Amino acid sequence: GQNIDQPTEMTATEGAIVQINCTYQTSGFNGLFWYQQHAGEAPTFLSYNVLDGLEEKGRFSSFLSRSKGYSYLLLKELQMKDSASYLCAVSLGGRAAGNKLTFGGGTRVLVKP
């Protein structure tokens, strides 16, 4: 089966940095996605990694190591509006999988003043 693990909850202070780790063991790999989801709302796309290394996009960066089955999402200069769940998802790829995304359980980040 597919296994994607991330911490359940993290707390950080406004202006600080938080790193959300994600480890995965899947039968295929065609890229790793990070989504942000505010409570009761739809997930929104944050980042995509398919090659090893760091992708930076403003205050958010995402890192991937395929050999270690590991990714992290780095949130810098935290703002109160960053309080949300962050979902790690792996695309298994292949025609049969139909580019299906398998999601981890999500990490709830609480930003405190």
Partner 1 sequence: DSGVTQTPKHLITATGQRVTLRCSPRSGDLSVYWYQQSLDQGLQFLIHYYNGEERAKGNILERFSAQQFPDLHSELNLSSLELGDSALYFCASSSGGKDYGYTFGSGTRLTVV
Residue ranges that bind partner 1, judged by CB under 8 A: 30-31, 33, 35, 40-45, 48, 50, 87, 89, 91, 93, 96-106
Closest CB to partner 1 among 40 and 113? 40
Task: Report, in Å, the least distance between residue 94 CB and partner 1.
Answer: 10
Query: Residue 15: in which H helix or E strand, if any?
Result: none
Min separation Cβ 71 and partner 1, Å: 14
Residue partners of 86: CB distance under 8 A and separation at least 6: 6, 20, 34, 35, 36, 37, 46, 73, 106, 107, 109
